[in-house]
Amino acid sequence: MKRETQLELARELQAHVRNGSTALAPEVFRNPVAAYSDAARAQLERERLFRARPLFMGMSCRLPNPGDFLAEEIAGVPVLLVRGQDGALRAFANICRHRGAPVASGCGQARVFACPYHGWTYGLDGRLAGIPEQASFPGVDKSTHGLQPLPAGERHGMIFARLCKGPQPQAAAVAEDALEIDVDAHLSGLGEEFDAYRFAGYSYFASEWMAPAINWKFGIDTFLEAYHLPALHRTTVAPLIRGNVGAFDAYGDHGRMTFVRFSSSAWDGK
């Protein structure tokens, strides 16, 4: 975070502490239960949020070297991220062009991807390199049967991908069939803030995958307030962070919440 932003937030939060207030929406918001349980809505969210918009796929340090790859299923789409020999980060549908088997699983290092089903091989750039017994496939043009590329982007030490082509929401300058993502347009002003963290210089330590059987919004909504800290986290977080005091800033599709540690009273007035 930029120092000026830190100072602004510190002043705002100190004022909230002094006044016994917090950032609030203009009015009480009533959230219909169907937002979490309606299957048709969930399908729409999958299409409009997870498939159309850029998704954060991880830090750049996850794939630092040429040949590094990561295969994950996101919103029902098997995605393969690869660092090419040219250093560029690319994304593909992890679907063999022969009969649809995934050509890679997990993460690791590869020089080529060999489909485990019948052995078709693909280069790091997605090109179809080899078809065993190619004489059995007369008329199949290898140059048009590479892995399907997906739009990808890398900025501020972070990797983004989109699960389908087509216009990138909030990025009118990006051509419809572009394989690039305008990450800064997507971040709506947060890019500079992320730069201050210097994520590009980070090293990969570990990752953990959690898939609880809940609507995805619970994972977000339950974190969007410090109101629950004194009751739910009475003996853990509550002694460290003030309950129901916070600042909120919106950046396009994104939001930043900032809470206050009790220890920050040491710099009150400074």
Q: Is 99 in the site for ligand FES (CB under 6 A)?
A: yes
CB of 97 to ligand FES, least distance (A): 8
Instruction: From 32-40, 95-103, 163-171, 177-185, give the range in contact with ligand FES by CB under 6 A.
Output: 95-103
Torsions phi, psi of 104, nearest 5? -145, 155
Q: How far is the CB of 248 from ligand FES (least distance, A)?
A: 48
Q: How far is the CB of 174 from ligand FES (least distance, A)?
A: 32
CB of 118 to ligand FES, least distance (A): 3
Contact characters 54-93, ligand FES, x per CB under 6 A? ----------------------------------------
CB 249 within 8 A of CB 193: no
Query: HSE on the CB side for 33, CA within 13 Å?
Result: 0
**In the complex, minimum distance from the CB of residue 145 to ligand FES, in angstroms, rounded to a whole number:** 11
Q: Which positions ≥6 away from 191 have C-beta within 8 Å? A: 155, 156, 183, 184
Cα separation, 81 vs 83, whole angstroms = 7
Among candidates 92, 77, 61, which has minimal Cα distance to 179? 92
Report the residue number, 111 or 261, with the smaller CB distance to ligand FES: 111
Binding test (CB under 6 A) with ligand FES, winner from 13, 89, 96, 190: 96
Encoded amino acid at 138, one letter: P
Question: Which CB sits closer to ligand FES, 56 or 117?
Answer: 117
Please give the helix or strand (H or E) that residue 159 lies within, else none. strand 158-161
Q: What SS3 class is residue 110?
A: coil
Interface positions, 104-163, toward ligand FES (CB under 6 A): 115, 117-120
- Look-up: residue for tokens 């800290």? 229
Can you give the binding site for ligand FES, defined by CB under 6 A?
A: 96, 98-99, 101, 115, 117-120
